[in-house]
Amino acid sequence: MTKRFKTGEKAPENGTYEFDGLVNGGNESEVTEDEKSIKLSSGDQFPPIRSNKEAAYWKKSN
């Protein structure tokens, strides 16, 4: 099972991370396609979703 990371946690390694749901279970249909993939460096903090500032879950894409 792929480990999930939450907004505010630090990225364990460099890479591309994919959106994996909203923490509060909100309306995911409002999340735009360009927000669903982010590039982070090791130690970078996982961000909230830009459009609505909601906390999100992320998983490493590859």
List all residues 6 or more positions away from 1 whose beta carbon is below 8 Å from its beta carbon.
Answer: none
The model's confidence at residue 38, banded by pLDDT at 50, 70 and 90, is very high
Residue 56 has pLDDT above 90, yes or no: yes
| pLDDT tens per residue, range 1-35 | 679 999 999 999 999 999 999 999 888 888 999 99
Residue type at position 26:
G
- pLDDT category at 51 given cuts 50, 70, 90 is confident
Q: Of the candidates 47, 31, 50, 51, which has an alpha carbon nearest to the alpha carbon of residue 39?
A: 47
For 3-55, the DSSP string reads: PEEETTSBPSSSEEEEEEEETT---GGGS-GGGSEEEE-TTPBPPPPTTT---
